[in-house]
Amino acid sequence: MLAYIFWHWPYPHVDKTSYQHYLIDFHDALHAQKPAGFHYSTVFQVEHVPWIDTDGEVYEEWYVVTNFAAHQSAECDRSQFYIVK
C-alpha cells in the first residue's frame, strides 16, 4: 500500500466555505466511484504547517492506494474535478 499525502491552500480571493465544499464534494465522489486500487481518502484542515509559508489555514489530504498507478488515476480524476481560481 501507498499513502500519498499533500498540502494545499486556497488562493486569497477564494471563499473558504466554497473551497471546503469542493474538497468534500470531491472526496464524496471519489468514494462513490472508487478507481481501481483506491482504498480511502480523507482531508484535514490544519492551522499551520511549518514548511509552508502561508498565513491561512492549510489542508492536508491523504490517499491510501494499492500502488502508484492507482494514485495517478485518482490524481487525474481530482485535477479534472475542481480547480478553484
CA distance 30 to 40: 9
CB 27 within 8 A of CB 41: yes
Question: 7 Cβ partners below 8 Å, 6+ apart?
Answer: 46, 49, 52, 58, 59, 60, 61
pLDDT tens by residue, 4-22: 888 999 888 999 999 999 9
Q: Is the pLDDT of residue 24 over 60?
A: yes
Instruction: State the helix-helix crossing angle for 68-81 and 16-32, rounded to 10 degrees.
Output: 130
* 60-71 confidence digits (pLDDT tens): 999 888 876 665
* Cα dihedral 11, 12, 14, 17 sign: positive
